Amino acid sequence: MTTLALHDFSWQRMIDAVEAVKERACRAASALENAGIPYAVAGGNAVAAWVARVDIDAVRNTNDVDILVRRSDFDAIKVALESVGFEYHFVNGVDCFIDGPDGKPSRGVHLLFAGERVKASYPVFNADVTESEDADDYRIVTLEALVRMKLNSFRRKDQVHLEDLLAMGLVDESWSSRLCPEHAERLQQLIDNPDG
């Protein structure tokens, strides 16, 4: 059995964890903006941003940053992100930029490629970066693109994110008509079983 080194309970450690994600997301977004590279923040941070528009008390935090980009821009993305302290790695099939030599992949900037499937089994392709809008300090995927991407993955954490969007009224049963049949079925599954 592994012995864990526990730190003292600390509000500041919790706050620092959230601030660190924000700093990485904003630094990466700024580097891409400055280089003129189209992108959009996706994943758990996009869900949190959409949920916060309705109820800040319902926001869930995440420690990585998912960014939707075009594969054709990869070389320019690498230059831009490395210029602000990120280091490129390919980890478990994911193009990832880790924050410096002491960074962790779980806290990295993970690339999602527009117009591609993350896995061959996914029903639809990822959105394009044009399916985005301005947020505070970055571009963010539209709600519709985000929902499609979450329904595509449909891992437990994606289901929880979708449940949050449903609970906030951002998504409801009427969305089914906009979705491919497999996505509509997955959405209905969450609506019928709101507690998982």
Residue 26 belongs to a domain = yes
β-pairing, 65-69 vs 109-113, is: parallel
Q: Is residue 189 part of a domain?
A: no
Domain membership flag for residue 164: no
Q: Which domain holds residue 57?
A: 16-142
Q: What are phi and psi of 138, to 5 degrees?
A: -165, 175
Q: Is residue 64 domain-resident?
A: yes
Query: What is the rounded distance in angstroms from the CA atom of residue 78 to the CA atom of residue 127?
Result: 21
Give the dihedral of Cα atoms 102, 113, 64, 138; nearest 10 deg.
110
Name residue 81's amino acid.
Answer: L
| Count of domains observed in the chain | 1
Residue 158 placed within a domain: no
Do the domain assignments include residue 82? yes
pLDDT in tens, 77-109: 999 999 999 999 999 889 999 998 888 999 999
Contacts for 77 with CB less than 8 Å, ≥ 6 apart:
32, 35, 37, 39, 69, 111
What tens digit of pLDDT does each residue of 62-75 get?
Answer: 999 999 999 999 99
Q: What is the CATH number of the domain that holds 35?
A: 3.30.460.40
pTM of the prediction?
0.92
Q: 3-state class of 106 per DSSP?
A: helix
Residue 56 inside a domain? The answer is yes
Report residue 196's pLDDT band, with 50, 70 and 90 as the boundaries.
low
Residue 186 maps to a domain: no
